[in-house]
């Protein structure tokens, strides 16, 4: 019989059931960053360019983002556990296809499409189940700390693990590693139980899904064209904005007609949630943007190989580990808003160190202080932001808010890679200067996240 988790269950039982969810977030975040250290190897092996590999990485993150909301709605129809396992299956197929890809096109199909769709299906159930199982702020902080913490570790340790595997074996073996982890998660998920029964008759807003997906795709694709084709840049941004505006008008009209929309406009009436969503987006934008900038700089300018590049990111991984797994204790002592603000301040200080040391030292240790602070800062604010968002709504809206939350986070990851990558590629000949320009842009975006965090009320407003 499947084991159902309640807040009163022994901690050992809670850990056993949270483990597959946390590992799922880990492997998906790992997939978003581990390719950064393989850029040179993949480019040479598949006869492509840095821009080509950047496109594959960005498309993976983008497909996750545009399908996260529709897939979160499908969890209500199909059930959270079924979507989780289906997503893992698609992800595993994509990882194996990527491992044997003969060219960039097949890599994009396996990594960007199959793994992207699989991730969009499996991630919403992770956060929905954790929210349903834990009902108070402290226990949720522990659960989200474990899940978001491993997600942050996956993103930060992706370069190190990917670098080790690439140097010791091949970049293709890194995808085999992903498939093995996915198989292990499937085995660990046998005792997961869905607290809510699926509703096969629940309506699904297909047109809303198309409008939102096309809108987000065009915005990110437009960013990728910046610098190389400014006409397409503005054209796709305008098309994306038009589709997203049309999506909002469509779902509002659908709600007024008494029909269920893909996303309830009521989710955007909660000021606390809106501000926390902004911080989520910026957090992942910073994490993925910094990872991409530093990885490309080390490989293309400093001439580091995959393992050397990966080792540099150990400092960020340590920082995320320390702060993420302290979340339960921190939640007892500080307000969630305070933790988010502190996270942004520490992260911005870390970026400032990266900027300062690159001009004064060519040694690899110059990156350690900055990346350590970035890891501490990002790891310290990932969980509070998720906690604020999820705790702002009752159980019946968890499917919708979880999908919106994950879409916003993954859209931030897409923006981070697209914006930072576009700056690097467009001025790559400038070497250190392009690195500095990209980091300065990330500092500006980080300051916007800090402003949003400062405006979050100390008390969570529940819808």
Q: What is the pLDDT of residues 357-368, one digit of tens each?
A: 766 666 667 888
Given phi > 0 = left and psi -120 to 50 = alpha, else beta, which region is 6? beta
460 part of a folded domain: no
Lowest mean pLDDT among 46-60, 210-224, 245-259, 301-315: 301-315
375 against 434, higher pLDDT: 375
φ and ψ at residue 300, rounded to 5 degrees: -85, -30
Distance CA 392, CA 423 (A): 37
Domain boundary among 240, 261, 282: 261
Query: What pTM was estimated for this model as a whole?
Result: 0.78
When divided into structural domains, the chain yields a total of 2
Please report, for the domain that includes residue 176, its CATH number.
Answer: 1.20.1250.20
Considering the domain architecture, whether residues 43 and 184 belong to the same structural domain is answered as yes
Considering the domain architecture, whether residues 117 and 229 belong to the same structural domain is answered as no
The percent of residues in the chain predicted with pLDDT above 90, rounded, is: 32
Considering the domain architecture, whether residues 239 and 272 belong to the same structural domain is answered as no
377 part of a folded domain: yes
Handedness of CA 204, 206, 208, 214 (dihedral sign): positive
User: HSE of 190 in the Cβ direction (CA atoms, 13 Å)?
Assistant: 5
Considering the domain architecture, whether residues 183 and 225 belong to the same structural domain is answered as no
Considering the domain architecture, whether residues 256 and 269 belong to the same structural domain is answered as no
Considering the domain architecture, whether residues 88 and 215 belong to the same structural domain is answered as no
Lowest mean pLDDT among 121-135, 178-192, 284-298, 418-432: 418-432
* Confidence band for 7, pLDDT divided at 50, 70 and 90: very low
200 part of a folded domain: no
Considering the domain architecture, whether residues 248 and 176 belong to the same structural domain is answered as no
Considering the domain architecture, whether residues 272 and 313 belong to the same structural domain is answered as yes
Measured N-to-C along each axis, helices 336-358 and 271-296 cross at an angle, to the nearest 10 degrees, of 20
How many angstroms separate the Cα of 167 from the Cα of each of 25, 41, 46, 102, 305? 25, 9, 17, 19, 8
pLDDT on residue 227: 63
* Paired tokens of 36: 């950064």
Handedness of CA 443, 448, 453, 454 (dihedral sign): positive
Stretch 172-177: mean pLDDT: 94
Query: Strand ranges (DSSP E) for 135-285?
Result: none
pLDDT on residue 99: 95
Considering the domain architecture, whether residues 173 and 150 belong to the same structural domain is answered as yes
Residue 246, domain extent: 205-261
Distance CA 349, CA 339 (A): 15
1 part of a folded domain: no
Distance CA 294, CA 190 (A): 39
């Amino acid at each position: 019989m499947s084991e159902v988790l309640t807040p009163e269950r022994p901690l050992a039982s809670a850990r056993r059931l949270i483990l597959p969810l946390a590992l799922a977030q880990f492997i998906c975040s790992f997939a978003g960053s581990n390719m950064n250290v393989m850029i040179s190897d993949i480019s040479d092996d598949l006869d492509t360019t840095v821009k080509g590999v950047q496109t594959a990485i960005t498309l993976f993150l983008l497909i996750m983002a545009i399908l996260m909301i529709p897939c979160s709605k499908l969890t209500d129809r199909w059930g959270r556990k079924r979507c989780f396992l289906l997503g893992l299956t698609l992800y595993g197929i994509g990882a194996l296809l990527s491992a044997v890809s003969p060219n960039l096109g097949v890599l994009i199909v396996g990594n960007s499409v199959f793994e992207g769709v699989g991730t969009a299906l499996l991630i919403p159930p992770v956060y929905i189940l954790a929210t349903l199982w834990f009902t108070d702020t402290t226990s949720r902080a522990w659960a989200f700390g474990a899940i978001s913490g491993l997600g942050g570790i996956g993103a930060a340790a992706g370069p190190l693990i990917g670098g080790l595997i690439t140097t010791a074996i091949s970049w293709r073996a890194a995808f085999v590693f992903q498939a093995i982890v996915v198989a292990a998660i499937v085995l660990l998920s046998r005792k997961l139980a869905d607290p809510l029964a699926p509703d096969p008759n629940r309506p699904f807003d297909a047109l809303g899904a198309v409008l939102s997906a096309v809108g987000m795709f065009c915005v990110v694709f437009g960013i990728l064209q910046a610098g190389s084709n400014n006409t397409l840049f503005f054209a796709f941004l305008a098309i994306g904005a038009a589709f997203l505006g049309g999506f909002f008008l469509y779902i509002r009209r659908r709600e007024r007609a008494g029909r269920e929309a893909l996303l309830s406009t009521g989710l955007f009436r909660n000021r606390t949630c809106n501000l926390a969503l902004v911080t989520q987006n910026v957090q992942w934008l910073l994490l993925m943007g910094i990872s991409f900038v530093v990885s490309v700089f080390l490989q293309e300018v400093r001439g580091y190989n995959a393992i050397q590049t990966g080792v540099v990111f150990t400092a960020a991984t340590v920082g995320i580990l320390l702060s993420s797994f302290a979340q339960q204790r921190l939640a007892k002592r500080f307000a969630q808003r305070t933790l988010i603000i502190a996270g942004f301040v520490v992260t911005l200080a870390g970026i400032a160190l990266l900027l300062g040391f690159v001009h004064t030292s060519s040694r690899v240790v110059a990156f350690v202080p900055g990346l350590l602070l970035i890891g501490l800062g990002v790891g310290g604010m990932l969980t509070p932001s998720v906690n604020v968002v999820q705790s702002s709504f009752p159980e019946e809206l968890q499917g919708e808010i979880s999908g919106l939350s994950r879409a916003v986070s993954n859209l931030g990851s897409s923006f981070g890679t697209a914006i930072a990558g576009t700056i690097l590629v467009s001025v790559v000949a400038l070497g250190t200067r392009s690195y500095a320009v990209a980091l300065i842009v990330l500092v500006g975006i980080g300051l916007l996240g800090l402003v949003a965090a400062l405006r979050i009320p100390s008390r969570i407003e529940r819808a």
